[in-house]
Every structure is written in C-alpha cells, then in structure tokens.
A and B are shown apart, each in its own frame.
Chain A
Amino acid sequence: MILLILSIGLLIAFLSPSLHRIAKDNLGLLLAIYPLSFLLFLLSRGSSATVETHTWIERFNINFSFQLNELGWLFGVLVSFFAIFIFVYASKYMSYYKGAGRFFLALCMFFTAMMGIVLSENLISLFLFWEMTSFSSFLLIGFFHEDESSRRSAMQSMVITVGGGLFFLLGVLLLGHVVGSYEIRDVIAQKDLLIGHSFTPYIVGLILMGAMTKSAQFPFHFWLPNAMAAPTPVSAFLHSATMVKAGVFLVMRMYPALGWNEIFTTVLLLSGAITMLLGAWRSVVRLELKAILANTTISALGIIMMFLGLGTAKAIAAAVVFLFAHAFYKATLFLVAGNVIKAKKDKNIGNLAGNFKDMPQTGLASWLGALSMAGMIPFLGFLGKELLYGSAFEAGSLIAYILLGATFISSAFFVVVALRFSWYLFKPGSQDTGHELNSKELPFGLTLSPLVFSIGGLTLGLIGSLAFVQDKIAAMAGTILPEAFEKVDLGLWHGINGALILSIITLIVGFLLFKNLNMRESKRPVVGSEKSYFAFLSNMNKLASFHYQQMQTGYLRNYLGVTLLFLVVMIGVAVYIVGQPAPLNEILTVPPEYPFYQQVIILSIPIAVGIIFFTNSRVKAIITLGIVGFSLALIFIYYGAPDVAITQLLVETLTVVFFVIILHKLPEFKTFAPKYGNVGYFVISLIFGLAMTYVMIQVMYFDIPDTLKGYFGEASYLEGKGKNIVNVILVDFRALDTMGEIAVLAIAATGVISMLRLKDHSELNKSSNKKVS
C-alpha cells in the first residue's frame, strides 16, 4: 500500500509540468491533495508494528519494505502536514515566477522521497530515497537561479549530500555483510553480532558520514547556508523542517542498533556541540534574512545530534520534542522571511525595519514563531528547551554540564535572532522607522501557511499536557531507546526548578545581547572545512589540467614515453611477484665468445639506434632503422631460424619501401620537439630496453618446460618424416599458416604497388582549383 502511494506520488511528480498547463497558478493547491491524502492515510492507519514487504532484488536481499512504527509514523505525519501547507504557500509564491511545473515536479519528488526515507524498513531502499532527496534538493536549489553562484551552491550541496549518501551505502553494505540482512529490525535484533566485530567502527563511521552530511553537521555544515539560494518554500521545507532532519532521523532509526557504541555517541556529542556553537555565533553576525535562519538551523540540528549523543532517556525525549518545536518555528520564520523579502524587495535585515501593521498577518506569524524560538512559555519551543535543560541537569555528569552551558549559549543567541525577527521587522505600534513604507500585506495564499505553522507551534505547546500527546512522544522516543519510557512529561509548569530558572536567565541574557549587540555583517571568511572543500576542488582542477597539458599533448611520443615508463614499473611489480630473480652477476660475468662477424652485427644495432635518435634526416632514420632489422634477420639466420629471418627480411624491405614512398609525399622535415627533448626520449627508451632485457634474461634463466620441444622433435621425425624440425613445422604442421603468411605478404606488396601508382592528391586539388579560378 505504501509502495503504491509512493509510486503514485512519483507519477504525480512527473505529471506536474503537464498539469501546470491545466491548473495554471493553482497547481500547488491541486497537488496539495497528495500530501493531504498521505496524511489522512497515516492518521487512519495509525502506527503499527506490521511490515509491508515487496521483494525487489532477491539476490541482494533488497526489498522495498515499509513500516509504520512510532518513529516513522510521527515523522511521516510531520512531513506530510508540513508538505500540505508548503504546497499551498508555493502555489501562490511560484505564480510570480516561471517554471512552476518543474518546481512542483522536484517538490513532489522530494516529498515522496522524504516519506520513503521515514517509512523505509530496508536500509538499501532507505538509501535510494535518501539519494532521491539529495537530487531533488539539487534541482530545487539550482534550477531557478541563473547566476553562477547558485549553480555552484547547488553543485556543492549535491556533491556533499550524495557523497555522504554513498559512504552511508558502503556502511550499509558492510553492515549487511556482518548481520546478513538489510532489514532494520533484523539489524536491531542481531546487534550482538556487531559488538566487538572488527567492522563495527567503520560501519558506525560510514553511517554517521551519511547522517552528518545530510544534517549539515560540522565539518560538513557549510553547504546549508549556501543552499539558501533556493526559493523560500524550499528553504522552509527542505532546508529547515524536513530534509536536513533526515540525518537526525537516520541516527534515531539506527540508535537501537548502534547506540551502544561509544564512537557513535562520542562523535555525535562532539560534532553536535561544535556545530551548535558555530551555527549560533554565525546566526548573529549575518545580515541576510535567510542566512541568519540557515545558521540557526545548523545550530538546532547540532543541539539535537548532541542530545542524541548524550543518550539518556530524558535527553532523547528532549531531542524529539525540540525537533518538533524547531520544525514549526523555523518553517514559520522562513516563510515570514520570504514574505518580507517579497514585499520589500530586499533581503538585508539592516534595511528591513518595519511596523507590525504594515503586514499584520505575516507579523503575527513572525511574532508567534519568534516567541517559540526564543523559548517563551507556553510555546512548544519553551517545552523543548525546558526538556533539554532538564535532561542535562538530570544526567548530572561533567559532560552534561558542559553541554548545558553550550546549549544555554546557543539558546541565548536564538533569543537574539527571534527578537530581531519580531521586534525589529514587526515593531508594535506605528513609530516612524525612517524607512519608506512600500509594503502592504501580501495575499492570503502567502500568509496562511506561516500562520498555520506558528499557531501549530503554540497549540502543541498548550496541549502538551494532554495524555495522548505525551504517550505519542513517549512511544516515539521509546522506539529510539527502548528502555524505560513510560511517559514524557510535557506539562508547562513543574514548579520552580533549575531548568525554569535557566530558561528565564536565557531570555534575559538574550534580551540584553539583542540590545547591545550591533547588527553587523562579519564578512564570512571561508575557513575550515569549507576552505578545504574549495582547496580540494581547485587542486583537483590543477592536477587535471597539469595532466592534460603535460601528458595528453596529442603527441604520440609523449604517450609512449609515459606508457613505457609505467610498463617498467609493471615489470618491476611482476619481477617482485615472480620472486627469486636469476643471479644477474653470474650471468653477466660469463664472457661473450662471439666470432668477429657476429660482433659487428651485434654492435651495429645500438649504433644504428643511436643514429636514429640524433639524425635530422628522415631518409637516414629509415635506413638506419632498416639496418636494425636486417641485423636482426642475420642473427636469426645464425641461430637456425631461416624462416623467421626470411619473414623479417621481407618485412624490413617492404617497410623501407613504404616509408620511402610516404616520405616522398611528405613536406619538408621539421622538428617539433625542443632541441634537446630527444635526450629525454633516449633515456626512456634506454630504461625500457634495459627492463625488457632484464625480463628476457630472467625468463631464459629458468627452465622452460620442454613439452613442446619433445613433442615436435618426436612428431616431426615420426609423422612428418623430416629431420629439420623448423621446416617440418612450417610446411607440415602449420602449412596453412605459412600459406596465410605468404598471402599477407602478397597483399602488402600489392598495397605498395598501389601506393606507387597513386597520384599526388594535393596536386590534383591544385589543378582543379586552378580550373575554377
């Protein structure tokens, strides 16, 4: 059933460009039916433990299996609820732009993929949906902006998230190797197999790579602010409320299987803490509305990861509640930012001071969202922060207190950002802000969704004390950490305790910071991991162009040079493999006893080669090359291989003739190589020649199996009735081959004749040109 819905979703996605022609600007409203029906389906079905399995690729154990456990179900409800109102918002928003059809294609695809992630039971199918979200995010970031920078950000987010996904896949492969199944419930059931296994650290590391790249955790945090080039609804939906939460979701999902591992929790704690502080600080030194929000998102994700790393029951419940709170207020604020930018045509917060009554509906949403973000009672944000503080207090360890301090700092910065958004952009009353009032409230389509989200945050805060809400949250947290979850206390009032006092202090500190901290842009220096990302890219480019300019020159001689040198390396490896090299000094000390005429032949070969290298005339080169060949032929004759020698002689003759004919037609000789460039080639040839000689010595030193010698020796005499083995082989055993050889020679000779008769083409052309002119 779930698979069916997801497939229909994809179908809808691909139909949306065509639907756009029918529905025009109401396309989003029409398509909102899809997440709406998904939501209704989830609500009617309720959470359950049953698993729906469709076999896909049997041999790999890859199934499309889905479940509706508490965690997945609640995430699913959250995502589809958000999707409905994002679609509604985008419907209006995109009517100002071209390409709505493609936009909704990507958006529907993304929604489907996201639902796939949260409902998947099989890790491989989860990975598939995972990459699909990266891809649709790429489309959404890159497709609607034609400037170079947003294309680059799209590419960056794509490379980092897809890359992280691939590492995740490798982790999953290893995990499957150990556990024998990709179904998450099997992995959880057999987590004992992982304990103490030598693969476990790699599995944990690789899976975390996936989660951390997706959720923009340090050191992969830098792609998220750059992704803000996307249209506002996308920023609100993908880059704050849902997609970036996929990493968090993955950690939660794998928690029962890997939560016991110390590497797992330590990495989460450390990178979460760094991410949180980094994001919080950056959010107050940015002026661009969406950049501010992106950095607070990074910070919030860091908080969630960190508390998951803390790993106590309360910390996990707190992380869950905070996740919900964050989704509601952050989506609100993003849409508010989008509205403000749209109304005032400016995205720098310094130029955007305004009054509440300019845009009352957006303003209301902004205030509600900001209050939740600041953690004001009775918003959901307040509950989240209370629980975070409370769980840190309860854990009581040194680490917990350090985390508490860090959380406190970021929360204070959140207050600053919240106040900037509400107090600065939407000041109550009607003071003169000194800015021209060119803004009017935007149409209802653009104000409805932020209002819904902000009111949602408020409502959830208020109904938090209801038993069924608490049960749901407890059940969800229970799927992450099965031990000891009965209920999560989401009451607004627990009496005066440490958490409450700290909350109040947070608000006060935040307010003071807001008053005293100047709004300024510290030009973001490209540092740390982002710097290394770009350095990596540019170095890759440098390496590539080095290779391209120095090696892929188009000159065959360079290609051969590199290739031959590599061959020498390979020969080295081969010699190493064979082992036990022949005792070279023993072989070389044997004094060569060649008769005089042989010495001449042997010496003439290197001399001829030397001449080839340093001659400036083609004819000389060809003739000396011929000397090499003829000398070889003589050597063959001396060692009793007249047939080979004859072939060699014929081939040499033909080659020389060929060359001379071709040379005759060629223009004058020109040296393209630098004057002493030949020396390099000479050295390379020498090295290669020596290496080949070495190989031949090696090969000949070892006994060559004499099966062939014996067989041919016997058979030539008994069956071929001949005493000269070579001759018998040529005319008897391999008679057809010999005939073939002769035929080849004949064909080659025909070729030579035809070339001799060939008329000069250039002359032909010249003469015809003359006629025309």
Chain B
Amino acid sequence: MNTLILCVGLGLFCLVAELINIRKLLLPILLVGLGVLFVFTLTTWGTELPPSIWGFSMETMIRFDNFSIAFSALAIFITALVFMLAIDYYKTEENHITDYASILMFTLTGALVLFSYWNMAMLYLGIEIVSISMYIMAGSRKFDTRSNEAGFKYFLMGAFASGFLLMGIAMVYGATGSFVIEEIALYANGGNLSPLFITGLVLILIAFFFKVSAVPFHFWSPDVYEGSPALVTAFMSTLVKITMFGAFYRLLSLAFPGAISEVYTILFIVATLTMSLGNLIAITQVSFKRILAYSGISHAGYMLIAIMAIPVDSSAALFYYTISYAIAGVGIFAAAIPVFFFMNNEKVEAFNGLGKKNPALAFIITILMLSMAGIPPFAGFLAKYYVFSKAVEFNLYAITIIAIINSIIGVYYYFKVILAMYTQEPDGIEVKPTTLYWTVAIACALLVIVIGILPNTLMGLMS
C-alpha cells in the first residue's frame, strides 16, 4: 500500500517540480525515489500485510502477495531504466520533461495497481490509468503528425477495448453479484456457470487481447509503435506489455480458475494466430520499430501459452518470461535509440555496418537479439523453455509444436538485423551513445546473460 502511495507521491512531485523550477534535479531525484520504491517493495516480500489507508481496510480492493510484489519490483526496475534513458533523450526534445516524467510515474502507479488488484473496479481503474497515460505519451510530440496519429489511433482502439472490459465486468457482476476476486472465484469454481458469466468472461478476454496486442486485435500496435517517440515505444513495448500480462494472469488465475477450460479454444486460436502472424509479418518489415512491434506481438503469443497453462501454476514461467523479454527490450532500445539518432533513420538499414563502426554496441545488440530469438545461453531461451515445459506438463502439445516452429521463424528476422550489422558496409557516420545509454545497454546485456546462466533464484521466487 505504501508503495502505491509513494509512487503517486513521486508523480505529483514531478508536477510540482515544474512550479518550483528544479527541473534539472528532477530525474536524479526520481531515480533515487524509484530506488527507494524498489527496495521498499522487496522488503514487503512474503509479509502479505493487509492493506489499509489511515485505518480503513482495503482488503476487498487490493491485496499484495508475492506475485504482485515480484511483478511490481520488475516494473519499478524497468521504469528506472527508462528514466535513465529519458535524461539524455529529452535533452534534444522540446522541454516538457516534468509532464512526461509525471505521466510515466502515473503509468507505473497504474501498473502497480494492476499487479495487485483484488476487485474488478480496481482492475478497470488500473487499466485506464495505464492506458490513458500511454495515449498521451504516444501523441506527446505535439507537432509531429505521426505522433498525433499514433496517439489518436491508440486512444480509439483502446477506448473500444475499455468498452468491452466494462461490459464484461458488468456481466460478470450480474452473474456473481460481486466485484471481489475471491467471490467471483467461488462462483467460477462452483460449476454450472451461467451464460451471462461466460459471455462476460469472453468480453473481458477480448479487452485483454486488445491490451496485449494479440492477433487479430493487434492492428494498433505496429502503427502506434512506429509513430510514437522511440522512448515511449520502449516503455510501451516493455512495461505496458508486461503489466497487461501480469494483470491478465492475475485475473484468470485468481478470479476465473474454474472457467479457463471453457475458453481454452479461444485462447488456443488467439495464441496460435498471435505467434504465427506476428512472426510472419516481422520478416518482411524494414522499419526497426515495426520489427520490434511484430516481434512483441509474437512474444505475446508465447506469453499467452503461459496463460493457457495456468492450471499447472505457470506464474513463475510467466514472470521469468516477462523479465527476460522486458530487459532485452529496454536494452535493445537503449542501444538502438542512439543509432536512430545519429543515422536519422529508424529502418534496419540504419544498422548497416555497425559491427565495424561500433563493435561494442553491435555486440550488445547481438546479445540482446539472440536472447529475444531464444538462443541459449541467454535468458530468452530459458524463458521459452520454461513456458514450453509448463505447456508440456499440462499436455498442451499442439500449441508447443506451433510455438517451436514459430521460434524457428523468429530466428530468421532477428538474424536479419545481426547480419545487417556485420556484413553490410558502414557509411561513415559515427554512432556515439552517451554514457547513460551505454550504462543501460550494458546493464541489460549483462542481466540477460546472468539471468540466463543463473536462473535458479528468479525461478524459485514464485513457488
């Protein structure tokens, strides 16, 4: 609970910072604040304190368990990494950094809510906090029409999804008479589910498919990723995606454990489409951000497999997957944004000859790409392995085979970038990332290796 309050406080502080004119100190202070938040979150590990504000119990609204603490810590960490990039990123931008910073902090707040909600109202609230913040961020380059278009598209599609979510929640409420997770679970486990309940669940699923950009609800994501400022794309493709998956998992595993088998077919179809189409289209893309958008879509497909395996408790698998995905994602952006900047080009060809121009940067990108592609010994491989082994444990063979074929296709386009870096001729423009970009990129690459080689602690967290 205190984490949440502190987080909101940091967001408000950002707004005040503009007034009292301490813009320059803002990001260092925020980083320290996030550090405190991170440590604070970790200290609550395993305690499961009943949440309360000034003595009012919030038990039917929000619960903090190890699942939410683990995901929250991850989200805080990712946000901190993105803020480190923001310091240099917004130096060259028009300066509204306090606004952006506060919006990012509020997004984080929404994420924390989404990892720990115990009530459908909180779920809706969390999703809207995250989404509305991201609509604004996507359109935050006021005079760039592509950014405007991205923000608007994101908003329209997102509003559509929110509508479905509300309708679904209302129907579930109608069937169960409660917004509280455990009471819904009681009903769901009771058997003999009413059609109202199933319809509500399907509508909620649709909303989440939108939010995690599963096929065929994915159309917004490539356009929005491409149009938004690169840093926002980084934030969207990592933090927002894992947030939505955390919330999705929490909902299905806590509120609807008895009903998952009912919607298994839908999950199967969507997961298959998501993996396959995402991968397939990524092959033909020339824009780097679009490749990442489509690869993000296909990763959503793999994570959906973890959702399908909820009955064998795949929370640790999902967590491990999100960690490896988000860290590799932030790292890639940390290494790619300087390339975009210096080459003034966001296509794959901007990476041509990077292996000769800046071997260290190319090496880091290679490691992160390999992890994304699921090549051992990097974290991305074990993440896939964990999810697949959970799927096999739950006898989901068909989807596992589809996922493996997709991993092979994935190899293809990740290596296209690697090949471009090493076999194409450089064009003479130097790429010199600043220290902070270097720090984040190197940290992510190291983490991907360390998590990949020494996974035991992380994997043991949930169980």
Interface residues of A (CB under 8 A from B): 57-60, 127-128, 131-132, 135, 138, 142-143, 145-146, 151, 154-155, 158-159, 162-163, 166-167, 169-170, 173-174, 177, 540-541, 543-545, 547-548, 551-552, 554, 556, 558-560, 562-563, 566-567, 570-571, 573-574, 577-578, 695, 698-699, 702-705, 707-708, 711
Q: Is B186 an interface residue (CB 8 A)?
A: no
Complex contact B198–A578 (CB within 8 A): yes
Contact of A166 among B283, B284, B404 (CB under 8 A): B404
Query: Known contacts being A544-B281, A570-B206, A574-B266, is A170 close to B419, with CB within 8 Å?
Result: no
Complex contact A577–B263 (CB within 8 A): yes
| Across-interface contacts of A707 in B (CB, < 8 A) | 177
Complex contact A704–B376 (CB within 8 A): no
| A584 CB, min distance to chain B CBs, angstroms | 14
Complex contact A547–B217 (CB within 8 A): no
Query: Known contacts being A58-B456, A578-B198, A704-B175, is A551 close to B408, with CB within 8 Å?
Result: no
Complex contact B216–A131 (CB within 8 A): no
| Across-interface contacts of B341 in A (CB, < 8 A) | none
Q: Name which residue of chain A comes closest to B277, CB basis.
A: A547
A-B contact pairs, 28 of them (CB 8 A): A57-B456, A59-B459, A60-B385, A135-B370, A138-B415, A155-B419, A158-B411, A158-B415, A163-B408, A166-B407, A167-B404, A173-B388, A173-B389, A544-B283, A544-B284, A545-B284, A554-B223, A559-B220, A562-B219, A570-B266, A577-B198, A577-B265, A578-B195, A578-B198, A695-B199, A702-B194, A704-B174, A705-B194
Q: Give the interface centre of B206, B216, B401 by most chain A CB atoms within 10 Å.
A: B216
Report the bound CA distance from A554 to B224 in whole Å.
Answer: 10
Contact of B195 among A170, A558, A559, A699 (CB under 8 A): A699
Within 409-463 of B, Cβ neighbours of A (below 8 Å) are at 409, 411-412, 415-416, 419, 422-425, 455-456, 459-460, 463
| B135 CB, min distance to chain A CBs, angstroms | 14
| Across-interface contacts of A174 in B (CB, < 8 A) | 392
Query: Known contacts being A59-B460, A563-B217, is A574 close to B455, with CB within 8 Å?
Result: no
Q: Is B211 an interface residue (CB 8 A)?
A: no
| B250 CB, min distance to chain A CBs, angstroms | 22
Q: Give the interface centre of B156, B262, B266, B408 by most chain A CB atoms within 10 Å.
A: B408
Complex contact B195–A166 (CB within 8 A): no
Complex contact B376–A128 (CB within 8 A): yes
Q: Is B1 an interface residue (CB 8 A)?
A: no
| Across-interface contacts of A170 in B (CB, < 8 A) | 388, 400-401, 404
Report the bound CA distance from A57 to B291 in whole Å.
Answer: 32
Report the bound CA distance from A177 to B370 in whole Å.
Answer: 28
Report the bound CA distance from A174 to B391 in whole Å.
Answer: 11
| Across-interface contacts of B338 in A (CB, < 8 A) | none
Complex contact B202–A143 (CB within 8 A): no
| Across-interface contacts of A163 in B (CB, < 8 A) | 405, 408, 411
Complex contact A552–B281 (CB within 8 A): yes
Q: Is B153 an interface residue (CB 8 A)?
A: yes
Contact of A143 among B277, B388, B423, B455 (CB under 8 A): B423
Report the bound CA distance from A597 to B388 in whole Å.
Answer: 61
Chain B residues touching A, range: 35 or more
Report the bound CA distance from A131 to B452 in whole Å.
Answer: 15
Q: Is B9 an interface residue (CB 8 A)?
A: no
Complex contact A541–B425 (CB within 8 A): no
| A573 CB, min distance to chain B CBs, angstroms | 6
Report the bound CA distance from A552 to B294 in whole Å.
Answer: 12
Known: A155-B419, A695-B199. 15 other contacts (CB 8 A): A145-B423, A146-B425, A154-B419, A159-B411, A163-B408, A174-B392, A540-B283, A547-B281, A551-B219, A562-B216, A566-B216, A577-B263, A578-B195, A702-B194, A702-B196
Within 234-271 of B, Cβ neighbours of A (below 8 Å) are at 262-263, 265-266, 269
Within 187-241 of B, Cβ neighbours of A (below 8 Å) are at 194-196, 198-199, 202, 206, 216-217, 219-220, 222-223
| B349 CB, min distance to chain A CBs, angstroms | 14
Q: Is B337 an interface residue (CB 8 A)?
A: no
Query: Known contacts being A151-B419, A559-B220, is A540 close to B194, with CB within 8 Å?
Result: no
Contact of A541 among B277, B283, B408 (CB under 8 A): B283
Complex contact A698–B284 (CB within 8 A): no
Number of A-B contacts (CB under 8 A): 147
Q: Name which residue of chain B comes closest to A55, CB basis.
A: B456
Q: Is B375 an interface residue (CB 8 A)?
A: yes
Q: Is B171 an interface residue (CB 8 A)?
A: yes
Q: Name which residue of chain A comes closest to B171, CB basis.
A: A699
Q: Is B311 an interface residue (CB 8 A)?
A: no
Report the bound CA distance from A563 to B254 in whole Å.
Answer: 28
| Across-interface contacts of B15 in A (CB, < 8 A) | none
**Proximity bits, B306-321, A CB within 8 Å = 1, else 0:** 0000000000000000
| B197 CB, min distance to chain A CBs, angstroms | 9
Query: Known contacts being A146-B425, A159-B411, A574-B199, is A57 close to B280, with CB within 8 Å?
Result: no
Complex contact A708–B174 (CB within 8 A): yes
| B449 CB, min distance to chain A CBs, angstroms | 11
| Across-interface contacts of A577 in B (CB, < 8 A) | 198, 262-263, 265
Report the bound CA distance from A37 to B412 in whole Å.
Answer: 37
Q: Name which residue of chain B comes closest to A146, CB basis.
A: B423
Contact of A708 among B177, B198, B269 (CB under 8 A): B177
Contact of B199 among A128, A142, A699, A703 (CB under 8 A): A699
| B280 CB, min distance to chain A CBs, angstroms | 5
Report the bound CA distance from A563 to B161 in whole Å.
Answer: 11
Report the bound CA distance from A411 to B460 in whole Å.
Answer: 56
| Across-interface contacts of A567 in B (CB, < 8 A) | 206
| Across-interface contacts of B160 in A (CB, < 8 A) | 560
Report the bound CA distance from A540 to B409 in whole Å.
Answer: 10
Query: Known contacts being A699-B171, A699-B196, is A540 close to B202, with CB within 8 Å?
Result: no
Q: Is B33 an interface residue (CB 8 A)?
A: no
Contact of B392 among A132, A177, A574 (CB under 8 A): A177
Q: Is B157 an interface residue (CB 8 A)?
A: yes
Complex contact B196–A704 (CB within 8 A): yes
Query: Known contacts being A540-B283, A547-B280, A708-B177, is A559 close to B266, with CB within 8 Å?
Result: no
Q: Is B377 an interface residue (CB 8 A)?
A: yes
| A665 CB, min distance to chain B CBs, angstroms | 14
| A173 CB, min distance to chain B CBs, angstroms | 5
| Across-interface contacts of B408 in A (CB, < 8 A) | 159, 162-163, 166
Contact of A151 among B202, B206, B277, B423 (CB under 8 A): B423
| Across-interface contacts of A135 in B (CB, < 8 A) | 370, 375
Q: Name which residue of chain A comes closest to B382, CB basis.
A: A57
Report the bound CA distance from A699 to B170 in whole Å.
Answer: 13
Q: Name which residue of chain B comes closest to A155, CB basis.
A: B415
| B183 CB, min distance to chain A CBs, angstroms | 11
Q: Which 10 A-B pairs have the closest CB atoms?
A: A559-B219, A163-B408, A707-B177, A544-B284, A578-B195, A574-B202, A566-B216, A128-B376, A544-B281, A544-B280
| Across-interface contacts of A702 in B (CB, < 8 A) | 194-196
| Across-interface contacts of B196 in A (CB, < 8 A) | 699, 702, 704
Report the bound CA distance from A142 to B411 in whole Å.
Answer: 15
Contact of B284 among A59, A169, A541, A558 (CB under 8 A): A541
| Across-interface contacts of A127 in B (CB, < 8 A) | 376
Complex contact A142–B194 (CB within 8 A): no
Report the bound CA distance from A167 to B406 in whole Å.
Answer: 11
Report the bound CA distance from A146 to B280 in whole Å.
Answer: 26
Complex contact A159–B223 (CB within 8 A): no
Report the bound CA distance from A662 to B271 in whole Å.
Answer: 40
Query: Known contacts being A158-B415, A159-B408, A541-B284, is A574 close to B198, with CB within 8 Å?
Result: yes
| Across-interface contacts of B177 in A (CB, < 8 A) | 705, 707-708, 711
Q: Name which residue of chain A comes closest to B201, CB basis.
A: A574
| Across-interface contacts of A563 in B (CB, < 8 A) | 216-217, 219
